[in-house]
Amino acid sequence: MSDLFPKDSWYALGGSAALDAGAVSPACLFGEERVVWRGEDGASHVWHNQCIHRGMRLQYGFVDQNRLSCRYHGWRFGGDGKCAYIPAHPDMIPPDDFCVPAFPSVESDGLIWTTAGEPGDSPPDLSDFDNLTFCRSLIIDADPAGVAKALSRLESARPVSNGVTAAALSTDETLVLAVQPLNDRKCQLHILVSSTSADTPATRHKCSAWARKFRWQVENNDIPQPAPQAAGGQETTR
């Protein structure tokens, strides 16, 4: 994976509003499967997507209050990842090492963030963007580094943090684009828009149309190239 995406950085997994209480969803980061779920108390969790009992993917499980239950044998895990109940042994207190590996889960600026390493700070601060609203996510069949390079060529593009770029959608609308590296060949792009009309159907439609066009351009290697620079940093003309 490119140095543009260190594992100790924070990466978005999706929009907070897209994960309802009691919802369970699969995710992936750097080729490693994750499961994202929300308890009835509203807290989100990001875990390794495998039950420690028989290896069943936890994405097929269900939320029972604030526990995630495996669909196979019903083992139930609390928010900290520790097994809290085994149906076949109802009187047994599960040992502390009966635990699903858990990863940080932080919700900020409309996104759910996690990491594959040990970050020393908080997720990117997007407070400079007014009226920031999550628009959509979409998968792009292209390597994350190539997508990041394409984002850097957008009009008025500027880096915000590792994997996060801001770019102009119009004169009064700014896109904030967060890349989630799925593996070496594929990524997911999470799109937020900063605008006085960010939460209107028209703005969402415009944002979604931009995203589909960008994906097509990247997947078909049709990203406009930056203008060549002459000596002294001036653009050349023909």
17 with 99, same domain: the answer is yes
151 with 208, same domain: the answer is yes
16 with 88, same domain: the answer is yes
Give a yes or no: residue 192 inside a domain: yes
What pLDDT is attached to residue 195?
85
The residue segments making up the domain with residue 63 are: 11-114
Q: What is the pLDDT of residues 201-222, one digit of tens each?
A: 888 899 999 999 999 999 998 8
Give a yes or no: residue 17 inside a domain: yes
Give a yes or no: residue 164 inside a domain: yes
Confidence of residue 16 (pLDDT cuts 50, 70, 90): very high
What pLDDT is attached to residue 233?
47
Query: Of 60, 87, 114, which residue is a domain's last?
Result: 114
For the cut 80, the answer to whether the pLDDT of residue 92 exceeds it is: yes
69 with 147, same domain: the answer is no
Regarding predicted confidence, which is higher, 110 or 172?
Answer: 110
What pLDDT is attached to residue 157?
93
What pLDDT is attached to residue 224?
63
94 with 159, same domain: the answer is no
Report the C-alpha gap between 86 and 67 in whole angstroms.
12
Give me the CATH number covering residue 139.
3.30.530.20
210 with 140, same domain: the answer is yes
Confidence of residue 227 (pLDDT cuts 50, 70, 90): very low
Give a yes or no: residue 179 inside a domain: yes
From residue 134, alpha-carbon distances to 79, 166, 172 in Å are: 26, 14, 17
Q: What would the DSSP string read from start to end of 208-222? A: HHHHHHHHHHHHTT-
Give me the CATH number covering residue 58.
2.102.10.10
Q: What is the pLDDT of residues 30-81, one digit of tens each?
A: 999 999 999 999 999 999 999 999 999 999 999 998 999 999 999 999 999 9
What pLDDT is attached to residue 2?
65
Give a yes or no: residue 209 inside a domain: yes
E strands, 49-151, where?
62-64, 67-69, 76-77, 83-85, 102-103, 106-108, 111-114, 132-140
The pLDDT of 115-125, averaged and rounded, is: 88
How many domains, the chain?
A: 2
What pLDDT is attached to residue 1?
57
Q: Report pTM.
A: 0.89
For the cut 50, the answer to whether the pLDDT of residue 236 exceeds it is: no
Give a yes or no: residue 181 inside a domain: yes
